[in-house]
């Protein structure tokens, strides 16, 4: 990826053990989506990009390998967090790091751009559950969704957000859609007004 060579999802996913790889089709961002979204988010070198619910870290690793942005993934599952940290180190991605935390403890003002792949869906869809290592439920879905919405609303004009498989309403109305791809599943927003 650092050499701008196309990498398929099957090729990329060999970095994961089977226990993580098996969730790829449903939970981890496809390489092509991650590449396009990261190019939009990190249009300027040094852009601080936050991946909200980084899971297996795929978006950050693809973005880190294909742009000059600085990627931080926040993940509350300790097994996934530990894997992400190790994978970024093994693959020499010095512009990629991960935080082991719940999204509600993250100050969005430290970042310039955001990626959101409907990370909270498993709270309301039992078929989307990754494991039982974290608490889930409708109340948590509402809390997390509202927290992200409020954080986005408070950020400065020019902030960029890319969402994948996420309702447009999860992004405040003071953001405008400036691009869409993958049959409307990837939406790219920029904050245009307070």
What domain range is 177 assigned to?
9-191
Q: pLDDT confidence of 74, banded at 50, 70, 90?
A: very high
And the tokens for 28? 């981890």
- Asked if pLDDT for residue 1 goes beyond 90, the answer is no
Residue 38 within any structural domain of the chain: yes
Residue 29 within any structural domain of the chain: yes
And the tokens for 86? 């190790």
Contact 80, 55 (CB under 8 A): yes
Residue 53 within any structural domain of the chain: yes
Give the pLDDT confidence of 52-65 residue by residue, as tens digits: 999 999 999 999 99
- Residue at token pair 């992400």: 84
Give the pLDDT confidence of 8-26 residue by residue, as tens digits: 999 999 999 999 999 999 9
Residue 182 within any structural domain of the chain: yes
Please report the pLDDT score of residue 111 as a whole number: 98
Residue 4 within any structural domain of the chain: no
Specify the CATH number for the domain of residue 91: 3.40.50.150
User: How does the average pLDDT of the chain come out, rounded?
Assistant: 96
And the tokens for 159? 């902030």
For 39-168, list the strands marked E by DSSP.
48-52, 70-75, 96-100, 113-116, 160-164
Cα–Cα distance measured from residue 192 to residue 155, given in angstroms and rounded to the nearest whole number: 11
- pTM for the model stands at 0.96
> Number of folded domains in the chain?
1
Share of the chain above pLDDT 70, in %: 100
Residue 3 within any structural domain of the chain: no
Residue 156 within any structural domain of the chain: yes
Residue 121 within any structural domain of the chain: yes
Share of the chain above pLDDT 90, in %: 94
């Amino acid at each position: 990826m650092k050499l701008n060579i196309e990498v398929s999802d099957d090729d990329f996913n060999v970095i994961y053990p089977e226990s993580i790889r098996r969730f790829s089709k449903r939970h981890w961002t496809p390489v092509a989506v991650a590449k396009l979204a990261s190019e939009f988010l990190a249009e300027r070198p040094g852009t601080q990009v936050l991946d909200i619910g980084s899971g297996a870290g795929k978006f950050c690793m693809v973005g880190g390998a294909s742009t000059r942005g600085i990627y931080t993934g926040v993940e509350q599952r300790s097994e996934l967090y530990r894997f992400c940290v190790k994978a970024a180190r093994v693959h020499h991605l010095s512009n990629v790091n991960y935080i082991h935390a719940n999204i509600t403890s993250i100050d969005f003002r430290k970042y310039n751009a955001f990626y959101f792949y409907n990370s909270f869906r498993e709270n309301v869809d039992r078929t989307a559950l990754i494991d039982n290592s974290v608490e889930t439920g409708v109340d948590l879905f509402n809390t997390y969704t509202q927290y992200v919405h409020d954080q986005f609303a408070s950020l400065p004009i020019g902030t960029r957000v890319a969402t994948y498989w996420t309702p447009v309403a999860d992004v405040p109305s003071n953001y405008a859609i400036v691009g869409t791809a993958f049959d409307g599943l990837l939406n790219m927003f920029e904050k245009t007004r307070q």
